[in-house]
């Protein structure tokens, strides 16, 4: 799976210039929004949703969350109630993740929120128009958008600690 790439690839091209000033308004912070856009710029998109083994699938939000965390160099921000008000909390290391009891499901949900917030802020199209946003049934069968998966797989398996190796 790490070495699979969509074939044929879409002729859709990521916008050459973006108005990054919009990202200052991202609820989750400029840094993680910018990292997500930088990761999206590396993606290769297929012309349809046929993936490995002929299944019609897409990349999962968990994969996107892991890829963006690796690109960002830190865990994704989380939502927590502080004095009865929901706030965004930025985490800098795995100790913060443990302290707040964060799991991958929460990171996945937050990735979806970050993505929706960013695409609402940026006027340019950040993904091909044939891309459908939804839920995937499996991480084992994937297909549509792929960003540097080989390096993600390498980093997740190196030293048997993977993305949990932030200091």
pTM, full prediction: 0.74
CB neighbourhood size of 76 (10 A): 26
Do strands 43-45 and 85-89 pair parallel, antiparallel, or not at all (unpaired)? unpaired
Cis amide linkage into residue 48, ω under 30° from 0: no
Can you tell me the mean pLDDT for 127-145? 55
Residues 6+ apart with CB under 8 A from 116: none
Backbone φ and ψ of 6, nearest 5°: -65, 140
**Which pLDDT value is given to residue 129?**
75
Q: Tell me which of 12-21, 65-74, 78-87, 138-147 is least confident.
A: 138-147
Within 10 A of 81 (CB to CB), how many other CB atoms are there?
A: 8
| Residue-averaged pLDDT of the chain | 76
How wide is the angle at C-alpha 113 spanned by C-alphas 131 and 163, nearest 5°? 90
> How confident is the model at residue 59, as a pLDDT?
72
Widest CA span in the chain: 52
Q: Which of 3-17, 21-35, 102-116 has the lowest mean pLDDT?
A: 3-17
The span from the CA of 131 to the CA of 147, in Å, is 14
Residue pair 123/31 in contact by the 8 Å Cβ criterion: no
> Environment class of residue 2 by beta-carbon count within 10 Å: exposed (0-12), middle (13-18) or buried (19+)?
exposed
Check pLDDT > 50 for residue 119: yes
Quote the pLDDT of residue 44.
76
């Amino acid at each position: 799976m790490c070495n699979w790439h969509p074939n044929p690839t879409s002729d859709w091209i990521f916008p050459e210039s973006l108005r990054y000033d919009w990202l200052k308004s991202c609820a989750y912070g400029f840094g993680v929004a910018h990292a997500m856009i930088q990761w999206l710029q590396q993606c290769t998109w297929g012309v349809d949703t046929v993936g490995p083994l002929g299944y019609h699938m897409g990349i999962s939000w968990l994969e996107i969350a892991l890829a963006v965390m690796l690109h960002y160099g830190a865990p994704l921000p989380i939502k927590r109630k502080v004095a009865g008000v929901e706030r965004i909390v930025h985490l800098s290391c795995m100790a913060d993740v443990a302290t707040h009891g964060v799991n991958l499901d929460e990171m996945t949900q937050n990735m979806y929120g970050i993505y929706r917030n960013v695409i609402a802020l940026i006027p340019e199209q950040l993904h091909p128009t044939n891309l459908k946003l939804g839920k995937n049934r499996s991480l084992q069968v994937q297909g549509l958008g792929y960003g540097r998966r080989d390096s993600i797989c390498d980093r997740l398996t190196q030293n048997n600690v993977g993305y949990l190796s932030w200091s």
